[in-house]
Structure 1
Amino acid sequence: MRRSFVLHAAALMLGALAVIPASADDAVIARVLERIDARQIAADIRTLAAFGTRHTMSETASERRGIGAARRWIKQRLDNCNAERKGRLGVRFISHVEPAGRRIDRPTEIVNVVATLPGFDPVGRERVYLVSGHYDSRASDVMDAKADAPGANDDASGVAAVIAMACAMADQPTRATIVFAAVAGEEQGLLGADRLARDAAAAHTRIEGMITNDIIGSSLGDDGVRRADTVRLFADGLTPMLKTVLANERNQAGEDAFAKQAREQLAQIARIGGEHDTPTHQFARAVKRAAERWQPGFAVQLIARRDRFLRGGDHLPFLERGFPAVRFTEPVEDFRHQHQDLRETDGYRYGDLPEYVDFDYVARVARANAAALASLARAPAAPARVLLDTRSLSNDTRLTWDASTERDVAGYRVVWRETTSPVWQYQHDAGNARELTLKGVSKDNYLFGVIALDAEGNESAARFAGIEP
């Protein structure tokens, strides 16, 4: 029998309307965050910058300069910390040869360094969370493989954060699988990430969320203002759905899985609203909730766009294949320290050097990532289906949902928000019920979702409440 729960407006007014973060009770996550050390991050960024250039087409045989030396060092660094922790990371190179193209003037081997932490739960481990930074760098000329391009912020900062997360989590238990990736070829057209996304789609890998960390190294903007207490998170899952459906209609080709999912999602949006309720938006909200729960005072600013204008990141190949994917980037960039030859002009030093990186800030962004990934990977899967009952005229809201497919679910949390709000504003725990009626909360005025919880309060991403076709 389906368990139900009825909540009256009077009870709502006693506290459920103001979302109070759950207490941080998970010792595993606390341990992971304590292990992320700004001093080690600084050492790793300086080491990566010292390879001179990490251009995708740079030297590969040298042990001191070029992209080959950099990738071997990254793998060794991950292997060493895994051994020190007696961890469960599987570290390997994944490579392919990219043919000559617009930003590759000859066939070039693209090598990703990938460390996989398998989940302990036989069902849960099929869920995968992937976090990346790109270890290649560039000078002013994107085809210049010889000039110094230290790439301290873009993107040794992201790679150092990924290494810090992998080392901190190597021996810690997670229900789901986490993949830590240092990818190549980003500056030449997202080549390494594209291969990972393509392979994941072909293998039907269940990627529940992907985060790329790209330019997370400075809290000081080009306006001279330091913003050490915030980071931007770019998240938009609607645009790729629209592009996929329109392309499919133009080509008159048979629908693939993502095209079918996109068309159904757009039909749901047309019926109920929820333009900002794609799986990517829900993943971003879950990242923000966990990151701010575990690191009070450090804000994750949600930006409902795929990326900044005129730029792109390694999350895009995943988005375009239907995976929830987002990008972390510092709050205000200084473009004098990105994609620049090392030089002095008008008394100002240009170039992406370690001296312009705020290592404490990188550590804070790494902890935001780690809190979100560990919490999501330790939580059970979201409910399989959530429905809003619209069969009758009423000023109440009735929700039903299917149970999570994973064991050890401690309960469910119903969340809702005004239609113009970017974040969940209200919540109520429904215990193990799979039905909830909110008396006096009009379904016409809010958007709804349901989250699955574990005993420590770790939350799944919300499953958006749709309606029957």
Structure 2
Amino acid sequence: MPEQSAGTPRRPRRRTVLTSAAVTAAAGVPLIASAGPAAAAAGGRGRESGGGAATAQAPDRELRKLLKEIDADRIEATVRRLAAFGTRHTLSVQDDPERGIGAARDWILAEMKKYAAVSGGRMTAELQSYIQEPASRIPVATRITNVVATLRGSVTPDRVYVVAGHYDSRVTDVMDATSDAPGADDDASGVALVMELARVMAKWRPAATIVFTAVAGEEQGLYGSRYAATQFRTAGVDVQGMFTNDIIGSSRADDGTRDPYTVRLFAEGVPTSETPAQANTRRSVGGENDSATRQLARFVSDVGDNDATGMNVRVVYRRDRYLRGGDHIPFLEQGYPAARFTEPAEDFAHQHQDVRVEGGKQYGDLPEFCDFDYIARVTRVNGAVLWTLAQAPGTPREARIVTSNLTNDTELKWAPGTEPDLAGYEVVWRETTEPEWTHVIKVGLATTHTVDLSKDNVFFGVRAVNRDGKRSPVAFPMPGN
């Protein structure tokens, strides 16, 4: 890909979307939206023409206003401050006020408390600590501390969404706790995103709860996020979505090319937490591509891929990159929908490299190699997603497709939602070869609906809608009665 400057217009997106307009017409389904070029005559728009999937949600005035508050200069200042602690290695000193992970921890907490102070009591900021006994990459008992800011929802506070970045850093030798490890891209960039969203959203009033967390111990083995995910599960917290932002600081690849308007989102298929029997059931009905995490990824594309963010979201159907993993994985292991944002390609000449100058070239994960406008755009994607999730109804529960009778239609059922502003539900469907939902059917406040299409031929889902027109992620129905 040729070099692109920061002022280059947003790269147009190409995504082929096939439709079933002919099947729909023959079946008489009350269609309210469809996607793809063939659906243009029916009012649908494909991404090629600036529209989106049938489930896409355009940003409203409120969301646009929120996203405009995201400040690239503040993000840059945060990245530079975190890099200035010298090293943030998990095994580095914790009681030095100027250097090491302890100094970084205390600074992040102090900043989060400043944000909380203007929230009208809705946000709290605290440390979440535990002692990690000797284990892989942990030679001695070590205190692992996450910094957590919680913005409590005003309508359904028990429904929670989490956004994270890891504030520990490393050099080539993962056990070197003393050398300079500025960790600007990996992962001061992700922590700066989390902190900027906490700063902006502290002044707003979400319906559901949003948790902003900077975790530690990632480079040593995802220790901080594993503790956080376990604490959520032990407490029975209803985490309906988690995103980690790890290495989101640059659009530059190791061959020098740039893609400054794309962010990757890694999303796994068959959930890690499912039993073998559950996984086999999912595979038997073709649900490998319809986990809660994959539905969350589709939601990200629906609300975060538009002119308000200036970004293309490239969803990758994998848990993570080869040979590596991120802080979303412990949440997946606990059964929570979780995905990883990361830059479009990586420049390995700087990632995890020791700070040095060779042949007149500077190496190391330094702020100079970050693109702060790019980080701001990725922050807007996260902001659009988190705010829409928090303001929309929760994902429908207990969605099932009735398979007790041999019929050529499809009966769907789901549990009623409890949101006070719930306006109804929509059934969505697509061909089994389609990556995105192509058709939407309004069904009102009913919690059961029969569609005159064979369940053998297409995939179905259901989503909730509130009075403001905001839609939840889609729930994929599993076989049942």
TM-score grouping bracket, smaller chain normalisation:
0.7 to 0.9
Give secondary structure in 2 for the equivalent of 1:410.
Answer: strand
Aligned with residue 89 of structure 1, among 123, 132, 152: 123
Aligned match of 1:358:
371
Amino acid at match of 2:432: T
Q: Is the 8 A contact 1:16 1:428 kept in 2?
A: no
The separation in 2 between residues aligned to 1:235 and 1:442, in whole angstroms, is: 28
Contact in 2 for aligned 1:16/1:427 (Cα 8 Å): no
The question of whether the paired residues in 1 share the 8 Å contact of 2:310 and 2:377 is answered with no
Contact 1:54–1:136 under 8 Å retained in 2 = yes
* 2:7 alignment partner in structure 1: none
Counterpart residue number, 2:152: 118
Identity %: 48
Letter in 2 for 1:299: N
Partners of 2:57 and 2:303 within 8 A in 1: no
Conserved 8 A contact 1:134-1:158: yes
Aligned to 1:404: 417
Greater helix fraction, Structure 1 or Structure 2: 1
- Kept in 2, the 8 Å contact 1:380–1:407? The answer is no
Report the 3-state secondary structure (helix = DSSP H, G, I; strand = E; otherwise coil) of the residue aligned with 1:223: coil
Structure 2: gaps spanning 5 or more residues: 1-25, 33-38, 46-52
**For residues 276-312 of structure 1, what are the alpha-carbon distances to aligned partners after superposition, in whole Å with 9 as ceiling and x for unaligned?**
1111211222222121257364111111111111111
- Residue in structure 2 matching 1:51, options 75, 81, 85: 85
Contact 2:395 2:475 in 1 (8 A): yes
Alpha-carbon distance change, 101 to 401 in structure 1, aligned in 2, over 3 angstroms: closer
The answer to whether the 8 Å contact 2:118/2:203 transfers is no
- CA root-mean-square deviation: 2.3
Deviation at 1:425, TM superposition (A): 2.4
- For the 8 Å contact 1:158–1:213, the answer to whether it is kept is yes
What is the CA–CA distance in structure 2 between the aligned matches of 1:281 and 1:23, rounded to whole Å?
20
Deviations 1:381-432 (A, max 9, x none): 22223333453432x5443433223221122222222222332222233333
1:15 match: 42
Counterpart CA distance in 2 for 1:417 and 1:81 is 43
- Counterpart CA distance in 2 for 1:71 and 1:294 is 35
Tell whether 2:321 aligns with 1:308.
yes
- Structure-2 separation of matches of 1:346 and 1:274: 53
Deviates more, 1:191-200 or 1:413-422: 413-422
Name the residue aligned to 2:21: none
Corresponding residue for residue 263 of structure 2? 231
Counterpart among 170, 174, 187 of residue 138 in structure 1: 170
Counterpart secondary structure, 2:85 = coil
Q: Does the residue aligned with 1:301 lie in a helix, a strand or coil?
A: strand
| Preserved contact between residue 96 and residue 110 of structure 1 (Cα < 8 Å) | yes
User: Normalising by structure 2, what TM-score?
Assistant: 0.86
- Given the alignment of the two structures, is residue 448 of structure 1 paired with residue 460 of structure 2, yes or no? yes
Residues 425 and 105 (structure 1 numbering): CA distance in 2 closer, same or farther, change over 3 Å?
Answer: same
Query: Larger relative CO (CA 8 A, sep 6+): 1 or 2?
Result: 1
1:369: how far off? 0.8
Q: Deviations over 1:208-266 (max 9, x none)?
A: 11110000000111122211111111111415146xx36xxxxxxxxxxxxxxxx43x2
Residue matched to 2:272: 240
* 2:213 maps to which of 181, 186, 194: 181
Structure 1: distance between partners of 2:415 and 2:271 = 28
Matches within 5 A, 1:356-435: 356-390=369-403, 391-394=405-408, 396-435=409-448
Aligned to 1:457: 469
Alpha-carbon separation, structure 1, partners of 2:293 and 2:208: 18
Verify: 1:25 aligned to 2:90, yes or no: no
3-state secondary structure, aligned to 2:289:
coil
| Cα 1:346–1:448 shift into 2, 3 Å | farther
Counterpart check, 1:214 vs 2:226: no
Q: Distance in 1 between matches of 2:27 and 2:425?
A: 14
Confirm or deny that 1:295 pairs with 2:313. Answer: no
Amino acid at match of 1:401: W
SS of 2:127 mapped into structure 1: strand
User: Quick one: structure 1 residues 320 and 143, their matched pair in 2 at CA, closer, same or farther if it must change by over 3 Å?
Assistant: same
